[in-house]
Structure 1
Amino acid sequence: MGITKLADLIRSDAPNAVSYKDIGDYTSPLTGLFFRTLTFLEHDIKPVFVFDGKPPVEKTPVSAQTKDSIELLKCMGVPVIQAPGDAEAQCARLVRDGVVDAVASEDMDTLPFGANVLIRQLNAKKDEVVEYSLPRLLEKLQITHEELVDLCILLGCDYCDKIPGLGPKRALTLIQKHRTIENVVLHINRQTHPVPLLWKYKEARKIFLDKTETPVTNLVWRELDEEAVVDFLCHTKHVEERIRHRMKTFHEHRENRREERKKEKAEGHMRQTRMDNFFRVTRKRG
């Protein structure tokens, strides 16, 4: 579920923390994963896929069918990480530690977990993705990361109940004025906004702010195993033709880029592909 109405609140109160960027349009589950991942690879973007491990006791377990996705990614030579708990928490740690540049997820709780850059709607059937900047968000709302965590708990998160009837605008105003949940509950009408019995907001706060080091083995991107991918994905001749045609263009494109890099290196102005080279900003709010 993530954080209730956090995206709406950001769009209205911190629009400059959001930008919209071009992305290719691919559909269907595994083939969509295949095409998008291949596009990343041929543009020198190295994706890392993180899957949920054992969920915290505060979070309702959500069953996810990930076996096929993991198998496909392994065939494509892309690293897969099994998180010790919540995948978004692990992703945020990877960003904070400088292992990756951004998190791509539909789950807004990636922001209170501390990821500086969140990309959403990567699977959307349109030509752009949405990028959220945590530093810009905090600056615009004039709150700290710890206060953002308390705000998200008030909005409603996966780890505890929320105060009924407390909307996003009101919650933001209360946090900006009183700074902590402990102070907020002293300044609300308990009749209209009853505090949940045995409210586990402190446990939720601890989960979001947990800075426990989680060792990550060296990430290795291997060569794509074309035959393994075809065997795994293709059940009809039509699908196989599409997959093989796409991989042919992938190999051609990658070879061209390698030649370009060799030429750049020889000329002494080698440059590394950045995320902005792939996601072109189409518009910004604010």
Structure 2
Amino acid sequence: MGVKNLWDILESCKKTVPLHHLQNKRVCVDLSCWMVQLQNVSKSHACMKEKVYLRGLFHRLRALIALNCNVVFVADGSIPAIKLSTYRRRLNMGKEVEHNETNSQQVTSLRRNMGSEFSIMIKEAKALGMALGISCLNGIEEAEAQCALLNFESLCDGCFSSDSDIFLFGARTVYRDICLGDGGHIVCYEMADIETKLGFGRDSLIALSLLLGCDYYQGVHGLGPESACQIVKSIGDKFVLKKIASEGLEWAKKRKGGVNNLQKDEKVLQVINAYMKPKCHSADSDVVHR
């Protein structure tokens, strides 16, 4: 999911550009996002049995390879401890995680259940990619965080991901979707446009995640996207995280005119740190450059 309502907030920055825009470029693919997209297209039992999602993946890769586009798959690693409650809620109390690790207070992260249906799909996607000469980087935790780091460090020209929190991890160019029909196009968002058109830098987007809710935090009850954007803009990108770090989020209710019943929540500092310093392979590591 990423950040609640963030794609709607960024709508004015969305660009649809021809697929050939990716010619001779290097792109990272958040592999889980692509497989979810392809799985949703072919959800029927017959389609799953025939592995139609792999056919869709093959056609995407074939189109990019034809453009001399250098593609790198990035796969999710362990589930961050800060995300465990969200992850279990989505997956019916943790069918995707190892069953012997259930207390988030005792672990820093959880290994994924590599025998799950989705994990098997990821393995199949990696095998197909390898057959086509596509390399795969296994992330330490969040794949979108690893993609963002590579993009931020100019090791790739852009990232394919439908998780909006990729911007909070530092990505500068994000391709949310790809369409191969009618010559093909991609849906693109540039952080430079977000900064110029909306006035939101990375710190502002992290602040919005805390106000609206995200994978790591429940948000402030009663705040909608319009109010949250107004609050963040009124404080400014340079100061908004400093204010949250020092005061928590109790002031958000005051600004809205509601009753201030929020206590200072230490978790907000953990969320800020999780977005600013995610667990990733460093840009100069052997794993990245192999």
For Structure 1 versus Structure 2, the TM-score category normalised by the shorter chain is: 0.5 to 0.7
Q: Please, which moves more after superposition, 115-124 or 47-56?
A: 115-124
What is the distance in 2 between the residues matched to 1:58 and 1:155?
Answer: 17
- Map residues 1-286 of structure 1 onto 2, 5 A cutoff: 1-11=1-11, 15=12, 17-23=13-19, 28-60=52-84, 61=87, 63=96, 64-65=118-119, 66-122=122-178, 127-178=184-235, 179-180=240-241, 181=244, 182=247, 185-189=250-254, 191=258, 195=262, 198=265, 200-210=267-277, 214=282, 215-217=285-287
> Which runs of no fewer than 5 residues in structure 2 stay unpaired?
21-37, 42-51, 97-117
Structure 1 or 2, whichever has the larger Rg, is 1
| C-alpha distance 199-218 of structure 1, shift in aligned 2 (>3 A) | closer
Q: Work out whether residues 250 and 264 of structure 2, in 8 Å CA contact, stay in contact via their aligned partners in 1.
A: no
| C-alpha distance 82-123 of structure 1, shift in aligned 2 (>3 A) | farther
Q: Work out whether residues 165 and 192 of structure 1, in 8 Å CA contact, stay in contact via their aligned partners in 2.
A: no
Q: CA deviation at 1:183?
A: 7.1
What is the distance in 2 between the residues matched to 1:124 and 1:185?
Answer: 47
2:81 counterpart SS class: coil
Q: Work out whether residues 147 and 175 of structure 1, in 8 Å CA contact, stay in contact via their aligned partners in 2.
A: yes
What is the distance in 1 between the residues matched to 2:262 and 2:178?
Answer: 37
**Residue by residue, what CA displacement relative to the aligned partner does 1:176-198 show, whole Å, maximum 9, x if unpaired?**
11224347632524856754784
Query: Match for residue 282 of structure 1?
Result: none
Q: CA deviation at 1:133?
A: 0.7
Aligned length: 215
1:80 counterpart SS class: strand
| C-alpha distance 216-72 of structure 1, shift in aligned 2 (>3 A) | same
| C-alpha distance 195-184 of structure 1, shift in aligned 2 (>3 A) | closer
What is the distance in 1 between the residues matched to 2:267 and 2:180?
Answer: 34
Task: Name the TM-score, length of structure 2 as normaliser.
Answer: 0.66
**Residue by residue, what CA displacement relative to the aligned partner does 1:223-270 show, whole Å, maximum 9, x if unpaired?**
xxxxxxxxxxxxxxxxxxxxxxxxxxxxxxxxxxxxxxxxxxxxxxxx
| C-alpha distance 125-105 of structure 1, shift in aligned 2 (>3 A) | farther
> Which runs of no fewer than 5 residues in structure 1 stay unpaired?
221-286
Q: CA deviation at 1:166?
A: 0.7
Higher relative contact order (CA 8 A, sep 6+): 1
**Residue by residue, what CA displacement relative to the aligned partner does 1:137-178 show, whole Å, maximum 9, x if unpaired?**
022222332222112222211112211111111111101112
RMSD (Å) for aligned C-alpha atoms: 2.8
Task: Name the TM-score, length of structure 1 as normaliser.
Answer: 0.67
What is the distance in 1 between the residues matched to 2:157 and 2:139?
Answer: 18
Q: Work out whether residues 248 and 268 of structure 2, in 8 Å CA contact, stay in contact via their aligned partners in 1.
A: no
1:208 counterpart SS class: helix
Q: State the AA in 2 paired with 1:50.
A: V
